[in-house]
Structure 1
Amino acid sequence: MKPNLRAWLLSTSMSLLTGCSLTPPKTFTFQADVPENFTVTGTANYKPAPGETCIAPTGEAFTTGSLFFKPEQPKTAHQVEFKVPLTDDDHGCSMVLRGLKLMIEGQWGKRELDMSLASAGFSISDEPSAHLPANSTPPVRVFKRQCQWFFRTAGPKRFIRKILQCKALGANGQMAKPMIGGSLHRDQLADSTVKLVLSVAKIEKPYYKGWWIETPKGWKACTGVWGTQNEEPCTKPYKFLESFKMPDGRDCTVYPNCTE
């Protein structure tokens, strides 16, 4: 084969290869506005598309696949963002999104382990939604939710630890029972934005209801019911812990003011 002909065939083959790129899957954008020292990661879960059977290398059928999203850096100081594909072919078969699970991480202290996790989730509905006008801008769904810090003592030295809970907000602005999340319509997701706006309650509460008494100087932990020097249910006449430790090692009698 002549050199010029070989070069022409090679360049033609490369042009055909580069011109036949696969169409990227449609996506939606997930955003989370988060308080200081909070972040959100996500796991998109997929199921076989209608009529599709997914076979693992072992020969067994499987019915779920996952993609994990962890933003390298927040879009801003208080926002994370990632794009979620509506379909997934990375597992050797055609799969469609069935839900998005979120992990909300809040850091309450300076040490790496001074953190707590709360979960949230969005399910994908195949029920038809209200049709959008032609050429309309993709919708932005905004979910406003609130997180609450709860405190307790733990361990033989009774160090303060904090637990995070995040829930929906009721019509009166108070935290409701349902967990964070919601349902999203598949036929409105492509090129849309789903936004989670998180706030934090200003006042912390005891993790165990009825185990602390609120005083003008702060919260005091009860003890005495079971004859230990640990945090226990409050009963009259009230008996309080002699002291507990703040995360920085201080011995305190009230939370969060430390001293009475």
Structure 2
Amino acid sequence: MKLLRAHLFLLISAVLLVGCSLVKSDTFIFTADLPPNFYYRASAVYVPAKGETCTVPGGKNTHVGFNRHWRKEYKPDSEIALYRTVSGCPMVVSHLQLQIYSTYGNDRGDFGVDKATVVIREELPAKFQKEFSVNDESYFHGQCQFLFRTSGGKRRIVKILDCKGEDENGVLARGRPVAGYTLDQLQGKTVKLQIKLVKEEKPYMGDTWVKVKNGWKRCMGKGFEDQYAFCNGNYKDFSGFMMPDGKQCTIYPGCTE
């Protein structure tokens, strides 16, 4: 009898294990491999599932946020639900809206931000679908660069973050980083955004800085009250400017010539 019970126990355990292995996860992990001082904020956007005619009043609770307070608490891994029911309406995730942040100074406004997107559909043409590796991970790539300019009467340096998509061979796209998946691709998988930062910065606006041997010099324009201060052919009169840390400089990024 004990032997029979032991066999039954092993059989039931095996059945349970097989059953569990067949159950697919209704979530996937989004994560990002980012340079130092980079962060992301994500919003998972949900729409009524295929065949559903229900609606959600005002679209309330159809967006789920991750890393909303990225300055205080940042987690690189976000678990995204594929399906949700909101106000009695069965919904599916349609895309992830991603904001990429990078800080460059100590003031609260010293950051640049740009966007990326993960598109999710019931069906997608094969050419728009990203593939997964044998370890159930999929990657999409981007390249970001800081564009610098001056702002205000003190001509303080501020930076704009400019991000472009990149393929596996390093070829830049015209638009921002984007990846596409179908719902059945994502169950239990991991999607990772990989961003690299271009070391060399460049001016945000043309004809405002002059390239010299050791960096860039700021054209004076009509004076410090001239916010645009285009060079307009005058490549001899330059102005000083203030770095984000308050240092007064004459050449960017090395400060002194």
Interval of TM-score (by shorter of Structure 1 and Structure 2):
0.7 to 0.9
Match of 2:91 among 92, 95, 107: 95
**Which residue pairs with 1:6 in the alignment?**
none
CA contact (8 A) 1:41 1:69 kept: yes
Q: Secondary structure at the match of 2:184?
A: helix
- 1:236-251 correspondence to structure 2 within 5 Å: 236-251=233-248
Residue of structure 2 equivalent to 1:31: 31
Q: Could you tell which deviates more after superposition, 182-191 or 167-176?
A: 167-176
Counterpart position of 2:166: 169
Amino acid of the structure 2 residue aligned with 1:100: L
The aligned runs of 1:190-229 (5 Å cut-off) are: 190-224=187-221, 227-229=222-224
Q: How does 1:180-191 map to 2 (within 5 A)?
A: 180-191=177-188
Q: Output the amino acid matched with 1:258.
A: C
Match of 1:17 in 2: none
TM-score, normalised with respect to structure 2: 0.77
> Which 10-residue stretch deviates more, 156-165 or 182-191?
182-191
Q: State the partner residue of 2:122.
A: 126
Question: Cα 1:245–1:97, aligned 2, differ >3 Å: closer, same or farther?
Answer: same
Letter in 1 for 2:105: G
Alignment of 1:52-71 (within 5 A): 52-56=52-56, 65-70=62-67
1:49 corresponding residue in structure 2 = 49
Q: Tell me which amino acid in the other structure corresponds to 2:233.
A: K
Question: SS in structure 2 opposite 1:178?
Answer: coil
Distance 1:240 1:181, change over 3 A: farther
In structure 2, distance between residues paired with 1:171 and 1:96: 29
Residues 64 and 138 from structure 1, CA distance in 2 versus in 1: closer, same or farther, beyond 3 angstroms?
A: farther
Assess if the C-alpha contact under 8 Å between 1:28 and 1:85 holds in 2. Answer: yes
**Partners of 1:175 and 1:253 in 2: CA distance:** 33
Amino acid of the structure 2 residue aligned with 1:49: A
Residues of 2 paired with 1:33 and 1:205: CA distance?
24
Please, what is the CA RMSD of the aligned residues?
2.8
Counterparts of 1:33 and 1:200, CA distance in 2: 11
Counterparts of residues 63-82 of structure 1 (less than 5 Å): 65-70=62-67, 73=73, 80-82=76-78
Tell me the amino acid that sits aligned with residue 195 of structure 1.
K
Give deviations 1:10-53, integer Å, cap 9, x for gaps: xxxxxxxxxxxxx9970111010111111111100011112323
The Cα shift of 1:239 comes to: 3.9
> Normalized per residue, which structure has more helix?
2
Instruction: Tell me the distance in 2 between the aligned counterparts of 1:40 and 1:109.
Output: 17
Q: 1:150 is matched with which residue? A: 147
* Total equivalences in the alignment: 224
- With 190-199 and 61-70 compared, the bigger mean Cα shift is at 61-70
Question: What per-residue deviation string (whole Å, max 9, x for no partner) do you get for residues 153-176 of structure 1?
Answer: 001111000111111126773643
1:99 and 1:123 in contact (8 A); partners too:
yes
Kindly indicate whether the alpha-carbon contact (under 8 Å) linking 1:138 and 1:188 is maintained by their aligned counterparts in 2. no
> CA shift at 1:73, angstroms?
4.9
d(CA) in 2 for partners of 1:63, 1:54: 13
Aligned sequence identity (%): 38
Residues 1:26 and 1:240: Cα distance change in structure 2 (over 3 Å): farther
- Displacement of 1:206: 0.7
Gap runs ≥5 in structure 1: 1-22, 131-135
Match of 1:18 in 2: none
